[in-house]
């Protein structure tokens, strides 16, 4: 049992992470701008307030840092950089001052640069895309996550053990209607169109991950055997996309032959497999996705369940 601080604990993702930790017997403190519904200790504050962050990390064994501006549509570039980069610095700095050995950082697949057209994204160089692929972030949100990982690695070099989870678009229940609405007319969808908290995301391939799977990944990262100074990164996704087209067909239609297919067998076995190579997450983190939401699209034109 560990005493775990979750930043952003009242948010869409934070609530799932808190529930997962409580189910596994951890003692949880939530830090957010407002209290959530979970029966835990809550401390109210903002990650950009260094003093508030220092106060809330006291007495903790680990920190799961989730609080952030979640995408490029949720704030302008300056706000995203201030909250996501300064906030991350404050969390790591406070954790180090308190001698906390483990921090798990919520990163994003956007660090690879293939997420939103508004960011002038670049096509991936190869598929499946793994940890050796260069980071080609072009929009403020993606850049903030690259810088967040740089901070994470720096504090690992200083003696922490740190995990960065590069998650794809999280398919919360509140997003289901948006996902279905996009599937009805993918080329013309502009969201949020049916009351969701944001547009259906996941980039050109419509990646997604269930919030329960991602919460479990955070718990696995918290419990991962590591030495001080270790820095680990993992791409996380469901085992299928929500795209109407198989992955390689869609990549070819969008980018011609620009994307090298390094493991065609992967896509023969699973035509809707994600762009991201989940092998490392399976072998090292023990993460295997249990859920996907293609069932939401069953019966719609051009979709297979």
Per residue in 49-104, pLDDT (tens digit) is 999 999 999 999 999 999 999 988 899 999 999 999 999 999 999 999 999 999 99
pLDDT value for 1? 65
Rounded mean pLDDT, 100-129:
93
- Domains of the chain (ranges plus CATH)? 3-297 (3.40.50.720)
Residue 131 has pLDDT above 90, yes or no: yes
Q: What is the mean pLDDT of residues 13-23?
A: 98
Express as a percent the part of the chain with pLDDT over 70. 99
pLDDT of residue 143: 96
* Positions marked active-site: 141
Summarize pLDDT for 205-252 with one digit per residue, the tens.
Answer: 999 999 999 999 999 999 999 999 999 999 999 999 999 999 999 999
Whole-prediction pTM: 0.97
The per-residue pLDDT of the chain, averaged, comes to: 96
Q: Which of 25, 19, 33 has its CA nearest to residue 1?
A: 25
Summarize pLDDT for 148-206 with one digit per residue, the tens: 999 999 999 999 999 999 999 999 999 999 999 999 998 899 889 999 999 999 999 99
pLDDT at 305 > cutoff 60? no
- The CA R_g of the chain, rounded to the nearest whole Å, is 19
């Amino acid at each position: 049992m560990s005493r775990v601080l979750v930043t952003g604990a009242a948010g869409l993702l934070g609530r799932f992470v808190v529930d997962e930790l409580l189910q596994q017997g951890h003692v949880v403190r939530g830090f957010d701008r407002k209290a959530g519904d979970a029966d835990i200790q809550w401390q109210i504050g903002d990650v950009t307030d260094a003093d508030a962050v220092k106060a809330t990390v006291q007495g903790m064994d680990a920190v799961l840092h989730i609080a952030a501006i979640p995408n490029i549509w949720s704030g302008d570039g300056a706000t995203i950089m201030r909250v996501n980069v300064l906030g991350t610095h404050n969390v790591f700095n406070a954790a180090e001052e308190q001698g906390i050995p483990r921090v798990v950082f919520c990163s994003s697949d956007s660090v690879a640069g293939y997420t939103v057209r508004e960011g002038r994204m670049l096509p991936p160089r190869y598929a499946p895309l793994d940890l050796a692929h260069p980071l080609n972030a072009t929009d403020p949100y993606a850049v903030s996550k690259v810088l967040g990982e740089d901070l994470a690695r720096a504090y690992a070099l200083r003696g922490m053990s740190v995990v960065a989870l590069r998650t794809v678009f999280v398919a919360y229940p509140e997003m289901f209607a948006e996902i279905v609405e996009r599937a009805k007319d993918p080329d013309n969808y502009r969201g949020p169109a049916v009351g969701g908290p944001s547009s259906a995301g996941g980039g050109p391939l419509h990646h997604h991950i269930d919030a329960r799977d991602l919460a479990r990944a955070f718990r696995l990262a918290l419990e991962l055997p590591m030495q001080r100074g270790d820095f680990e990164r993992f791409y996380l996704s469901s085992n299928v996309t929500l795209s109407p087209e198989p992955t390689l067909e869609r990549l070819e239609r969008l980018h011609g032959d620009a994307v090298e297919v390094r493991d065609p067998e992967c896509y023969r076995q699973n035509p809707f497999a994600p762009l991201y190579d989940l092998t490392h997450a399976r072998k090292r983190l023990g993460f295997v996705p249990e859920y996907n939401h293609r069932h939401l699209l069953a019966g719609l034109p051009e979709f297979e369940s």
